[in-house]
Structure 1
């Protein structure tokens, strides 16, 4: 098993694009899980939003996932899979900065709008990533590469949540949100230095 896992990791490390996509997914997941751990406390305790309002704001943000999943394949056909992936990350990530700007009254719409766009982008990115992996990774390695990637990406879930709590304790909830939001916003920028910037579509196996 260790030999098979090492083989899948070597395959990932040989591909610069796969590496970049994996790192971006892991770091943005880390930052978003920290934000997720703080959002209810931020909205209810810091901003004084009622429970029902808080649920509505979070619900609106979550609906972005439905839009992202719906548009992913259409955008890939029209604009190309690589371009769609790049836009889903680089163009939507800065909207996360709207979350710590959320406040009383209509300012809560900033939190909802930012969440909606970011979740839509993350969902589209996930669809493009899985599609690329399925067409680029050899069949005999696909399961192992997928498993290794999931361990790396999903392993950031407890770390992100714990870091969010530590930052909130040390800096305050809004400052912690700002720190995590800035991390999320800048993480996709290195993708502009990969081949995704010049390609219309991701390469397929053997290309």
Structure 2
């Protein structure tokens, strides 16, 4: 009987020790969760952007689009203002009775060389005075209305000229009963040459 009681006492004493020494299977899982939480905290601490930064960037407006829209609006407003100003100026000009005309220039030669004609383009113009022969003169009263008949010895062309008329690079300066006076302009200089009326009887005798 005493032995049985001792055995039961030993069993009762060993039971709490066995219960305390049983392994806890939740410890590895808890340790892993703590490690993951520590890693997440370290990553968040080293990151320069907060967790909601991507969402804030997505919600932020785009400045380029707004700038382009504002520039287009300003350009449209400027064009509208320019067009309105042009229409207003034209209307005011018509209201004042102002007429717009193109200005033209005219040069009266009156025996002088035309300064607007390039010297490079004034080449040899036919006929020359050496090519002409005075065939006849119709002399008017006081020299007015006189007509000289000239013949080109090379081309056999005939010219009827009056005072002031141009022929080639020559201008008829005067017509007398027996001659024609030409003013010749060459390379910016002018000179006078006289073409006499030859006697046909003398030519026949020669």
- Classify the TM-score, shorter chain: under 0.3
TM-score scaled to structure 2, two decimals?
0.18
Larger radius of gyration: 2
Greater RCO, 1 or 2 (C-alpha within 8 Å, sep 6+): 1
Q: Which has the larger strand fraction? A: 2
Q: Greater helix percent: which structure? A: 1
TM-score (norm 1): 0.18
